């Protein structure tokens, strides 16, 4: 299957990274995930605009200096995490093994290019509300694995009624 990515310079990209078979691995390995993002910043210039880590998937809005590098940024994060994830995992299917993958992440990631400020605000709200949507907490403010608290500290309150 041919996948085409959209590369619009000076845009933002909402990316969703999902664990293989939706295993709940990210919260229990949050420090490793932070190191994976930090490691990617050693090689690529990008800003994390908003992020929310859930047990089995991650929402992140990136603003890369070079928009064509965002697939490499995600590959770098996934590679670092996988290389340093020391928990025994279920043997992945042949398709995963043929690509040299350990069965920690789904093959692909979802991306959505954000082209306007109003769309950016909507995507940020969506990301921060995601733990409530999945029934993990009752209020956005109660989920600690999110950039929501940084938005509150910096007084970036796009989320009317989300608190």
Q: What is the band of 3 on the pLDDT scale with cuts at 50, 70, 90? A: low
In this structure, the number of other CB atoms found within 10 A of the CB of residue 113 comes to 15
pLDDT confidence of residue 159 = 44
Answer yes or no: is 27 within a domain: yes
Q: What is the band of 127 on the pLDDT scale with cuts at 50, 70, 90? A: very high
Indicate whether 152 pLDDT > 80.
yes
What average pLDDT score do residues 123-144 get? 96
Q: What is the pLDDT of residues 75-118, one digit of tens each?
A: 999 999 999 998 766 655 555 444 444 679 998 899 999 999 99
One-letter-per-residue 3-state SS of 113-143: EECCHHHHHHHHHHHHHHHHHCCCCCCHHHC
> pTM for the complete prediction?
0.86
What average pLDDT score do residues 6-19 get? 94
Instruction: Give the chain's domain count.
Output: 1
What average pLDDT score do residues 149-156 get? 84
pLDDT confidence of residue 107 = 85
For residues 87 and 70, what is the distance between their CA atoms, to the nearest angstrom?
A: 27
For residues 35 and 154, what is the distance between their CA atoms, to the nearest angstrom?
A: 24
CATH of the domain at 61: 3.30.70.1290
Q: What is the pLDDT of residues 22-79, one digit of tens each?
A: 999 999 999 999 999 999 999 999 999 999 999 999 999 999 999 999 999 999 999 9
E strands within 28-154?
46-53, 57-64, 110-114
Which residue, chain included where needed, has tokens 């390995």?
Answer: 29
Answer yes or no: is 147 within a domain: no
64: containing domain: 12-116
């Amino acid at each position: 299957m041919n996948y085409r990515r959209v590369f619009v310079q000076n845009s933002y990209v909402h990316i969703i990274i999902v664990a293989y078979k939706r295993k709940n691995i990210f919260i229990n390995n949050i420090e490793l995930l932070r190191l994976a993002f930090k490691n990617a910043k050693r090689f690529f210039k990008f800003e994390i605009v908003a992020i929310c880590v859930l047990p089995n998937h991650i929402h992140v809005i990136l603003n890369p200096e070079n928009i064509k590098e965002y697939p490499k940024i995600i590959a770098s994060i996934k590679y670092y995490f996988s290389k340093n994830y020391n928990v025994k995992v279920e043997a992945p299917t042949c398709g995963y093994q043929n690509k040299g993958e350990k069965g920690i992440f789904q093959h692909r990631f979802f991306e959505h290019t954000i082209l306007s400020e109003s769309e950016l605000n909507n995507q940020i709200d969506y990301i921060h509300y995601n733990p409530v949507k999945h029934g993990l907490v009752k209020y956005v403010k109660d989920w600690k694995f999110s950039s929501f608290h940084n938005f509150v500290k910096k007084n970036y309150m796009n989320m009317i009624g989300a608190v």
